[in-house]
């Protein structure tokens, strides 16, 4: 009796092993020689059966049940994401790819000093979204209000860094995360205290930092430039910063013309006192820190030495002398 029961169990186990082996064999075999690529996007919360049925409808697999059964190797937990598959892949290969999360990851580099138009180009080249789509989102008033941005665009609020994006995440969620990183830096108690002491808010700090970012080439000069601009603001002087003129005209690849200096835009700091309406680029931490902790100096002017550094002056007479000196040197070099 015991021997018969043992034999039955042995036969049953053998049968199960045979069935599993057969299923594994079917799941391991490619049913097509077609190597055409197919991109599948699996969003968060999509069930196994929904994934399986989608693959079957696309003609990548021929059995939803076998796909679900094969996924048990990963305890039925497949990762969301965008996957590049081929029609000649086996079910096992597809399950492995999704189980490991071997999905498409897109890299976005936001560089210091780049504006939203530069970023639109970068985000399109990264194949995350069209540049025009990004610019629309960057100037969407309801989106900006949701993020708590006072200005009329994302300019200045996109923290320079390298970001990695997977398309199961909504595009606006990616941008929101970048903006939150910027706000997180301003949420620190010492930063809030310092802004209060200077009577500046986040928008004002980013605006001034963005001007410094575009003006300064040398990191060590940023606190000196911050001192110049803050001193001019205290005295009610115009900032007269060339990069604000360029941002207002949007002629980013053209030299500034004399008429540009006298033509009003909400950014042209040659035509009014105070800060422009908002940032003109996305500044790095050094530029932001320079605004919060400027050099202790009474400079009001600076001019380029034509080598990436600047000479700083306390009065117009001194400044004019340096302008003449370095302009003459620049012209002599150009005419050689």
Q: Which is more confident, 3 or 48?
A: 48
pLDDT for 218: 93
pLDDT for 333: 57
Q: Are 217 and 309 in contact (CB under 8 A)?
A: yes
pLDDT for 65: 87
How far apart, in whole angstroms, are the C-alpha atoms of residue 27 and residue 67? 8
Q: Which two tokens stand for residue 323?
A: 């302008």
Lowest mean pLDDT among 16-20, 69-73, 125-129, 246-250: 16-20
Q: Are 241 and 259 in contact (CB under 8 A)?
A: no
- Average per-residue pLDDT for the chain: 90
Taking only the tens place, the pLDDT of each residue in 267-287 is 999 999 999 999 999 999 999
- pLDDT at 16 > cutoff 50: no
pLDDT for 335: 45
pTM over 0.75: yes
Using CA atoms of 5, 6, 10, 13 in order, give the dihedral in degrees to the nearest 10.
70
Beta strands 310-313 and 301-304 are antiparallel
How far apart, in whole angstroms, are the C-alpha atoms of residue 257 and residue 265? 14
Whether the CA torsion 250, 240, 219, 318 is positive or negative: it is positive
- pLDDT at 202 > cutoff 70: yes
Which phi and psi angles does 242 have, rounded to 5°?
Answer: -55, -40
pLDDT band at 327; cut points 50, 70, 90: confident
Q: Are 98 and 50 in contact (CB under 8 A)?
A: no
Taking only the tens place, the pLDDT of each residue in 291-321 is 999 999 999 999 999 888 999 999 999 999 9
Q: Are 188 and 175 in contact (CB under 8 A)?
A: no
If you search the block for the tokens 């609020």, which residue do you land on?
157
How far apart, in whole angstroms, are the C-alpha atoms of residue 96 and residue 91? 9
DSSP letters spanning 30-76: -S-----EEEEEE-TT--HHHHHHHHHHTTS-S-HHHHHHHGGGGTT
pLDDT for 12: 55
Average pLDDT over residues 72-90: 90
* Domains of the chain in sequence order: 15-100 (3.30.1490.480), 106-186 (no CATH), 189-299 (no CATH)
pLDDT for 295: 97
- pLDDT at 15 > cutoff 80: no
Determine the angle formed by the axes of helices 171-186 and 131-138, rounding to 10 degrees: 50
DSSP letters spanning 312-335: EESSHHHHHHHHHHHHHHHHHHHT
């Amino acid at each position: 009796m015991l021997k018969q029961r043992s034999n039955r169990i042995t036969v049953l186990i053998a049968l199960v092993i045979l069935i599993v082996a057969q299923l594994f064999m079917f799941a391991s075999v490619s049913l097509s020689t077609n190597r055409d690529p197919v991109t599948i996007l699996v969003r968060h919360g999509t069930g196994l059966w929904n994934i399986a049925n989608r693959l079957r409808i696309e003609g990548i697999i021929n059995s939803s049940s076998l796909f679900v059964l094969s996924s048990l190797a990963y305890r039925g937990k497949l990762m969301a994401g965008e996957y590049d598959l081929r029609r000649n892949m086996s079910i096992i290969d597809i399950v492995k790819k999704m189980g490991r999360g071997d999905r498409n990851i897109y890299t976005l580099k936001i560089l210091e000093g780049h504006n939203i138009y530069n970023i639109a180009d970068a985000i399109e080249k990264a194949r995350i979204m069209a540049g025009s789509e990004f610019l629309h989102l960057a100037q969407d008033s309801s989106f900006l209000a949701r993020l708590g941005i006072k200005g009329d665009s994302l300019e200045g609020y996109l923290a320079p860094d390298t970001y990695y994006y997977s398309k199961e995440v909504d595009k606006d969620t990616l941008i929101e995360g970048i903006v939150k990183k910027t706000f997180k830096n301003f949420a620190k108690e010492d930063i809030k205290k310092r802004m209060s002491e200077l009577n500046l808010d986040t928008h004002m700090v980013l605006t001034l930092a963005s001007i410094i970012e575009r003006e300064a080439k040398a990191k060590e000069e940023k606190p000196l430039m911050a001192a110049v601009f803050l001193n001019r603001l205290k005295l009610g002087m115009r900032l007269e910063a060339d990069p604000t003129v360029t941002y207002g005209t949007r002629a980013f690849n053209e030299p500034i013309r004399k008429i540009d200096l006298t033509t009003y835009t909400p950014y042209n700091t040659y035509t009014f006192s105070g800060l422009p309406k908002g940032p003109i680029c996305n500044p790095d931490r050094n530029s932001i820190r320079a605004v919060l902790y400027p050099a202790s100096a009474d400079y009001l002017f600076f001019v380029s030495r034509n080598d990436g550094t600047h000479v700083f002056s306390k009065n117009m007479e001194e400044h004019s002398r340096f302008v003449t000196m370095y302009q003459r040197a620049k012209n002599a070099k150009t005419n050689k």
